[in-house]
Amino acid sequence: MEIKVTKSNFENDVLNSEKPVLVDFWATWCGPCRMLAPELQKLDKDYGEKLTIGKVNVDEEDALASAFRVSSIPTLVLIKDKKASTVSVGYRTKEDLESILKSQGII
């Protein structure tokens, strides 16, 4: 399932999630972010029962971006057991993302 993450729902929908959450820090004007979106949708389609995809628009949620020290986008942060376990910066293919998730024991 893909969710819009904001400061107001971050604790409930990300930190307290039953499943790990792959948080995508992105912006509408970011080309690599637009390229990454379909890869994340494929991941959600294949692994949605094991993983939640969270989307943080850095232009709307600068406090969250600052909290995770996001300086380049897209930045993906895997939140597992209430903490960031993996950070990836830049475009990634579905296969790259699957490797990350396998290394973390999620898929």
Active-site residues: which are they? 30, 33
| Local structure of residue 105 (DSSP, 8 states) | T
End-to-end CA distance of the chain: 15
SS3 61: coil
Element (H, E) at 65: helix 62-67
